Amino acid sequence: MTPRQHAPGGREAAAPSRRAVLAALGAVPVAAATAPALGLFGAPSAAAATDVLIDLSAERQTIKGFGGMNHTVWISDLTAAQRDTAFGNGEGQLGFTVLRIPVHEDRANWSREVATARRAIEHGATVIASPWNPPAHMTETFVRGSQTDARRLRYDMYGAYAQHLDDFVGFMRDNGVDLYAISVQNEPDYAHDWTWWTPAEIVRFLRENAGSISTRIIAPESFQYVKSLSDPILNDPAALANLDILGAHLYGTQYGNFPYPLFQQKGAGKELWMTEVYYPNSSDSADLWPQALDVGQHVHHAMVDAGFQAYVWWYIRRSYGPMREDGQISKRGASIAHFSKFVRPGYVRLNAASSPQADVYVSAYKGGDSKVVIVAVNKGTSPVSQQFTLADTTISGASSWLTDAGRTLAPRGGIGVSGGSFTGELPARSITTFVLDVGPGTGGDTEAPSVPGVPVVSGVTASSVTLQWTAATDNVGVSGYEVVRVDGGGESAVASSAVNRATVTGLSAGTAHTFAVYARDAAGNRSARSAAVTVTTDDAPAGTCGVDYRVAGDWGSGFQGEIVIRNTAATALTGWTLDFAFPAGQRVTNMWGGTPAQNGNTVSVTPADWTRTIPAGGSVTLGFIGTRGTTNPAPTTFTLNGTTCTTT
């Protein structure tokens, strides 16, 4: 068994210039007009239930689509009916708009991917491709840590490898599939079973060879969105010029590590895609509820916190995937379909408070077809009502679809609309998509409220701050306030409130934050922005850490484990040793993200290159395979550099 089921039996295991081709297609990537369009717009808002105010002019990233992987060598191809279920958008279909396929090192297998790719194209989907290995004659083995048979691309084969990738592009094109993009390498930083690349090697290939490939280029597809793999690309103008899509995987990536400030700063004109994940595991049935609701929350954070433009699952058809082996949509699939069926390519995410009340997660999108889509996830155990208001807009029609324990993508009615507002009823542990037909401004009341007073700060902690301001006035009445965080020339909504007071949470410790306030009336008119206030959050307690331990899969004599190390100190931690003891004789046989040394029950772990530094407030994830006896209890105590960590 391979660690993350990526390999067979496991996951389960001179062409025309690319620039010339893209220019001819009129297809220069334009994910975001400016870097701030992919900023942090997902900070939690005040805990109390508040009106979600959606400004149709506050545009964020353009959505490219949602989809999954087909790999006909490792598992059987989708059937004709299953292709339509995946890429069709009728009842009982997923509405996927992205297909990812492999670039097989053996050209004899290329034709195996054509049928599903062609059908996806016929449904209007985008097709991308990723290689796991170059052809064998282009590689060599080397020693990498304890791995004596590690594989890498020979340095004298970079040009030949670029030609290999471009040959695949041409083959698919000749067979009716115009690839939107091709990757340099799948997971070059987690390549025990395929081909390793260092950041410097990726930069060199992008600089010297990627320009000859006649489609868009994806890199680096780090398995855990490890920024140290992609930072060198963003910091090298020549390499960045030949990159079109920064691709990432999210295996074990904590939500706090989703944002990417350097991409916001330097990635203007590039696209940002999440090109592979399964979540939260590959061991549970995809129909378990409310566990499958976690997928909806994961997509939410990928869109809002990370600003990804695409979300691509691993295998489309699998017991833990969006489509069951019988070809029917699973509960996990329904959670994705609440986005994929309604948020179509070309839609634009809108700025909105992402967590208007406890356990509720909201994202909003608009299309060029005069529609606004709102996806609301209620992770709570009780039903809630949530008020939504579209600024300076009338809603002419509203419909919704619901998935919960007993219903799957079930249409619902009875939405009462008043001008630009409505109240959404969110059942316990559910995901709901609202589709709104919108019209021009409300017309009758066009007078905006007065400017709120400058916020006054109180209740400062390491992660939160309370703000209060002099109330605004309006000719009809103020309906609520929107608190924004100001960063350079941009801003992001962080809280909304019906009264002139709000608490902003989820802030970084020991950091200066600047806030301002808008007022709105019932017609959606918004005031000018208030004067801003800057406050520095308290430092986090020094020398603290947390560890999350879980068993991700168990097969009796062995198991797959996961350890998340959280640095809750105010400064980054570079270099660390994690110590713990198994209580029942378990043994680590393979680990990624760290190097284990075990003496009896005691395990000591030192970091891999990419996990050596844990940023302040950040985390790293270790995965491992272990053996066990009749029981498999979790370790009770973890210490990091001698400090005892809190555990969950």
Instruction: Report how far residue 356's alpha carbon sits from residue 495's, in angstroms, rounded to the nearest whole number.
Output: 7
Write down the pLDDT at residue 476: 78
Write down the pLDDT at residue 287: 97
Q: What is the DSSP string of 95-154?
A: ---EEEEEE-SSGGGGGGGHHHHHHHHHTT-EEEEEES---GGGEEEEEETTEEEEEEE-
302: tokens are 């990928």
Write down the pLDDT at residue 28: 33
Write down the pLDDT at residue 543: 56
Spans of all domains in the chain = 47-61+348-443, 65-345, 456-536, 545-647
Q: Do domains 65-345 and 545-647 have the same CATH topology?
A: no
- Residue 426 pairs with which residues in a beta bridge? 384
Write down the pLDDT at residue 643: 86
* pLDDT tens for each residue of 18-41: 344 344 433 333 333 222 233 333
Write down the pLDDT at residue 492: 76
Please give the span between the terminal C-alpha atoms of the chain, in angstroms, as a whole number. 27
Lowest mean pLDDT segment, chosen from 17-26, 182-191, 234-243:
17-26
Can you tell me the mean pLDDT for 66-88? 97
Write down the pLDDT at residue 35: 29
Write down the pLDDT at residue 25: 38
Q: Tell me what the pLDDT averaged over the chain comes to.
A: 88
208 as an active site residue: the answer is: no
pLDDT band at 63 (very low <50, low <70, confident <90, very high): very high
234: tokens are 């963003």
Percent of the chain with pLDDT over 90: 65
- Do strands 245-249 and 216-222 pair parallel, antiparallel, or not at all (unpaired)? parallel
* pLDDT tens for each residue of 521-567: 776 678 889 999 999 988 765 557 899 999 888 888 888 889 999 98
- Residue 50 pairs with which residues in a beta bridge? none
444 or 579: whose pLDDT is higher?
A: 579
Query: Does 14 score more than 70 pLDDT?
Result: no
* pLDDT tens for each residue of 454-479: 999 998 887 788 999 999 998 878 87
CATH code of the region 47-61+348-443: 2.60.40.1180
CATH code of the region 456-536: 2.60.40.10
Query: Does 579 score more than 60 pLDDT?
Result: yes
Query: Does 119 score more than 90 pLDDT?
Result: yes
Query: Does 590 score more than 60 pLDDT?
Result: yes
Query: Does 392 score more than 50 pLDDT?
Result: yes
564: tokens are 């998340």
Query: Does 284 score more than 60 pLDDT?
Result: yes
Q: What topology does CATH give the domain 545-647?
A: Immunoglobulin-like (2.60.40)
Phi first, then psi: give them for residue 37, nearest 5 degrees. Answer: -65, -15
* pLDDT tens for each residue of 405-436: 999 999 997 788 988 999 999 999 999 999 99
Instruction: Report how far residue 94's alpha carbon sits from residue 85's, in angstroms, rounded to the nearest whole number.
Output: 6
Q: What topology does CATH give the domain 65-345?
A: TIM Barrel (3.20.20)
Can you tell me the mean pLDDT for 82-87? 97
Write down the pLDDT at residue 27: 34
**CA dihedral in degrees (157, 162, 163, 165; nearest 10)?**
120
Identified catalytic residue from 276, 482, 491, 562: 276
276 as an active site residue: the answer is: yes
Identified catalytic residue from 187, 221, 482, 491: 187
Percent of the chain with pLDDT over 70: 90
CB 632 within 8 A of CB 558: no
**Pick from 532, 438, 530, 534: nearest CA to 481:** 530
Helices vs strands, H then E, count in the chain: 10, 41
* DSSP state for residue 284 in the 8-state scheme: S
